[in-house]
Structure 1
Amino acid sequence: DKISDVKARYSGKVLEKKLVDLGIREANNYGWSDTYTFTKWLGEQLLMKALAGRSLTIVRPSIIESALEEPSPGWIEGVKVADAIILAYAREKVSLFPGKRSGIIDVIPVDLVANSIILSLAEAICESGQRRIYQCCSGSSNPISLGKFIDYLMTEAKSNYAAYDQLFYRRPTKPFIAVNRKLFDVVVGGMRVPLSIAGKALRLAGQNRELKVLKNLDTTRSLATIFGFYTAPDYIFRNDSLMALASRMGELDRVLFPVDARQIDWPLYLCKIHLGGLNRYALKERKLYSLRATQTRKKAA
C-alpha cells in the first residue's frame, strides 16, 4: 500500500528516490540497517515457512571480496562493498567516512564462500530432511579491525600506488579518516551549507559548473548512507557450525574446498591480492571501454 501510494504521487527520478527512502525507513522500522539486509531476512522467513519439515540449508556470507586462491588470487567480478569506498578514495572523492576503527569488519574471500556452498550442498544431499544455517565469515576466527583494514590499504596505496595504475591515477595525498557518525554528520553538514550557497552564487553569475568539493561531499554522503552501517560494526559473526561441517568431511574435501578464514594473511591479502585483483579484474573493462570511446570520438572528429 505504501509503495502504491508513492507511485501514485511521483514519477521519474523523484519516484526512484522516494522508493529508496521508503525502503530504508521500512527496514529501519524493523531493526535492519538497509533494504539489502531486510530483504535477505524476509527471504529466509519465506523459505522457512515454505519448506517447513523439509530440507533447507542457508549459507550466510559476510562481506564477500576477491578470491584468496581460486580461480586465481584476487579474482573479482566487479566493484563490491568495500571497493566502492576504496575506489572513491583512489579518485580523490572521499577522505572522511563514518566508522568505528576498533570494530571488526567481517570480510571473506569469494572462493571460501563458494567452498562453503559446495560442502553444505554435499551434506544436504547425503542427509536430507534437516534445517541448517551456516555463517561463512572471518570475524570470530581471524578478526581484523576497521582501523587495521584502513591502515594496511593506505600504507600500500601511498608506497606502491603505481602498481595499481587503473585504480590510482596518482599518489594519494590525503589520509582516509574514520570518525563516529555524529561527528561525520556535523562535519559534512557544516561544510555543505556554505559550499551549496557558493554553488548557487556561481550559477547566478552565469557559471554552470558544479563545485568539485560539493560534488565530492555528496558522493561521501551517498556512500555513507549505503555502507556506513558496515564500517561501524558492533557485532561479531561466528562460523563455528561451518567449521564443524568441514571437520565432518574427509581430509581430501577439506584440502579441495577450504573454508577456514584463519588461512587469510590480512596484510598480504588486502595489500597485494585484493588491490591487485581489483586493479586487474574489476577495473579492466572500464578502462578499455573508456579507451575505445575516446578512439571512436577521435575517428568521428
Structure 2
Amino acid sequence: MLLHVSTAYVVGEQSGLILEKRFGMGETLRGDSDHYLDIEAEIELAETRKMELQADPNVTEAAQRQAMKELGLKRAKLFGWPNTYVFTKAMGEMVLGHLRPAELPLVILRPTIILSTLREPLPGWIEGTRTVDSLIIGYAKGKLSCLFGDLDLISDVVSGGSSLSFVMFIFGIGISSNRLSADVQIPGDMVVNAMAAAMAAHAGEGGEFIYHVGSSVRNPVAFSLIEQCGFRYFLENPRVTKSGKMRKTKRMPVFKNMFFFRAFMALRFKLPLELMHLVSLLSGGTIFASEYKKLNRIYKFGMHLVDLYQPYVFFKGRFDDKNLEGLRRSMAPRVDGEVNMFDFDPKHVDWELYFSTIHIPGVMKYSCK
C-alpha cells in the first residue's frame, strides 16, 4: 500500500465544513475549465526558468532562489492556492491518485499543523521551532512586539501522544527571521497513531482513503485559550535575561484588522528604517549603511511572511473528520489494548491542561535555547 502524508491546507482558503474529498487530476481551486492544472507543464516551466536564471552571469545564486520562489508563488495563486507548499502537496495527491493501480490501496493523511507530544516518547517533546512555537519563544525572549489575527476563531489542534495543530497561524513581528517557518512538523503520536491505524485497516484493500487529522469539529479550541495559557504560564514562570533581570510579563496587542496592523508596522518599524536610510544617504554611506540593509531585509522578509500566512490567520474553515471517526469506531470492538495504545481521538485531550502543563513547558525546555 501507499501512505502519503499531505496537509489539511490543500483546500486553500475555503470556509465552513471542509469534507475529506480527493482531488481529480488537473483539478484546481478556481473551479472553472479555464484553469486546468497540467502538472508536467508546470514542471517544465520551472525547469526552463531555472536554466534561464543559471545561464545569466548577472544573476546571483540568492537572486535565482528568490526568482524561483516568486515564480512558484505566482503559479500557486494562479490556480487558487495561497502558497507553493500546499500547491505542491495538492499536486502530489493528484499524481498518486492518478497513477495508483486499482488493486493498490492509497491512504492520504491530511493533518493540520502539529506541535509537541502529549505522551510519547515523553510529554512536551519537540524538535525545532515551527508556527505557534515561534510566538512562544519570541515572547519568552522579549522579541515579540505584536500579533495579528482573531483570537475568537477556532484553532484546529491535533493531539496525539504529542501534537497540536493549528488551522490558523498568528504571527508576531519581532521574532528573528530564522524562527518563522511554514514547514509542517509531524512529531506527534496522534498523527503517527492515525497513520498506523489506517495502514492496518486498509492493507490488502484496493481504493483511495482520505483522512483529516484535526480537532476543529470534535474538540475545538479558540486561540484565546492558547493566549491565556501562555500569559498565565509566563506570569507563574517569569523569564530571566542573561544579565539576571526579570522580564515583565505583559499581554501583546492583537490586531484583528490588517489595515491597522500594517499601519502599526509602518509607524513602528518602516518609518525608523527609512529615517536610517536617509541618514545613510546624507552621510555618503558611512553611517548606518550595513545596519539599514540588514534590518530592511528582515523587515521585508517579515512582511512577506505576513502576506504568506494572512489566509491562515483568518481561516474560517473546519475540517470534517467523518472518515477518521469511522476508523476510530472500527477499532473500538478490540479489547487487546490497541485502542488505547494507538489513541488519536481529540476528545481525549484537555487543551487547557495540555497547553499549560505540557506544550508550553516543552517548548521552553526543548526549543528555547
Q: TM-score range by the shorter chain?
A: 0.7 to 0.9
Q: Is 2:217–2:318's contact at 8 Å kept on the other side of the alignment?
A: yes
Does residue 207 in structure 1 map to residue 287 in structure 2? yes
Which residue of structure 2 lines up, in the alignment, with residue 175 of structure 1? 252
Partner AA of 1:144 in structure 2? V
What does 1:74-85 correspond to in 2, within 5 Å?
Answer: 74-85=124-135
Measure how far apart 1:3 and its partner are: 5.4
Give the TM-score of the pair, scaled to structure 1. Answer: 0.82
What does 1:6-45 correspond to in 2, within 5 Å?
Answer: 7-8=52-53, 10-45=59-94
> Unpaired runs of 5+ in structure 1?
288-301
Residues 90 and 254 (structure 1), Cα distance of their counterparts in 2 relative to 1, 3 Å cut = same
Measure how far apart 1:210 and its partner are: 3.0
Does residue 111 in structure 1 map to residue 189 in structure 2? yes
Q: Is 2:82–2:308's contact at 8 Å kept on the other side of the alignment?
A: no
Does residue 224 in structure 1 map to residue 306 in structure 2? yes
Tell me, what secondary structure is at the counterpart of 2:151? coil
- What is the aligned counterpart of 1:96 among 146, 150, 154? 146
Which residue of structure 1 lines up, in the alignment, with residue 275 of structure 2? 198
Which residue of structure 1 lines up, in the alignment, with residue 315 of structure 2? 233
> Unpaired runs of 5+ in structure 2?
1-44, 164-187
- What is the aligned counterpart of 2:98 among 45, 49, 62? 49
Tell me, what secondary structure is at the counterpart of 2:318? coil
Q: CA RMSD in A?
A: 2.8
How many residues are paired up?
Answer: 281
Measure how far apart 1:219 and its partner are: 6.1
Does residue 4 in structure 1 map to residue 62 in structure 2? no
Q: Is 1:103–1:234's contact at 8 Å kept on the other side of the alignment?
A: yes
Counterpart Cα distance in 2 of 1:227 and 1:79: 16
What does 1:212-291 correspond to in 2, within 5 Å?
Answer: 217-218=299-300, 220-249=302-331, 250-251=334-335, 252-283=337-368, 287=369
Tell me, what secondary structure is at the counterpart of 2:215? coil
> How many percent identity over aligned positions?
26
What does 1:115-130 correspond to in 2, within 5 Å?
Answer: 115-125=193-203, 127-130=204-207
Counterpart Cα distance in 2 of 1:226 and 1:122: 37
Counterpart Cα distance in 1 of 2:361 and 2:227: 16
Counterpart Cα distance in 2 of 1:145 and 1:184: 21
Residues 179 and 96 (structure 1), Cα distance of their counterparts in 2 relative to 1, 3 Å cut = farther
Q: Is 1:101–1:178's contact at 8 Å kept on the other side of the alignment?
A: no
Residues 192 and 162 (structure 1), Cα distance of their counterparts in 2 relative to 1, 3 Å cut = closer
Residues 34 and 172 (structure 1), Cα distance of their counterparts in 2 relative to 1, 3 Å cut = farther
Give the TM-score of the pair, scaled to structure 2. Answer: 0.68
Counterpart Cα distance in 1 of 2:121 and 2:133: 20
Tell me, what secondary structure is at the counterpart of 2:155? coil
Counterpart Cα distance in 2 of 1:83 and 1:244: 32
Q: Is 2:217–2:319's contact at 8 Å kept on the other side of the alignment?
A: yes
